[in-house]
Amino acid sequence: MPQLHLEYSANLRSLDTDKALLRLNNALVASGQFSDEVDIKSRAVAHEVFRVGIAPAERAFVHVKLALLSGRSPEVKRQLSADLLEVLKDLVPAQAGVDIQLCVEMLDIDRDSYSKVRLPA
């Protein structure tokens, strides 16, 4: 745990998703909220078909969803969100003529119903 989903519009061709996932994972490790780095699972998905608003202007987005086991305080979740947003701001360059939105969403996973097992290597 946690589960990090990086979703982005495919018109952000210069986004290095491998680097982004590594930097986001590093921010989570640095937070001190997770006891074992191997518990952090992240993935990236490009959306070829998307729309931001209704105007014909070229727009783009990067949206991080971080799902955590329930029980963390609002302050901890706010800090994690802010840390991840700072990583996005550093990673996603402005593109001339493109309105880009960067977002972070925090989600709680019900601790009582979550199940996990690690298979031996």
pTM (two decimals): 0.92
**Predicted pLDDT at 118:** 85
Q: For 84-109, write each residue's pLDDT tens digit.
A: 999 999 999 999 999 999 999 999 99
**Whole-angstrom Cα distance, residue 31 to residue 81?**
11
Give, in order, the Cα–Cα distances in Å from 106 to each of 3, 20, 63, 67, 102.
10, 18, 11, 6, 14
Q: Is cis: bond before 2, omega within 30 of 0?
A: yes
37 to 11, 32, 41, 110, 112: CA distances (angstroms): 31, 10, 9, 21, 22
Say whether domain 2-109 belongs to CATH 3.30.429.10. yes
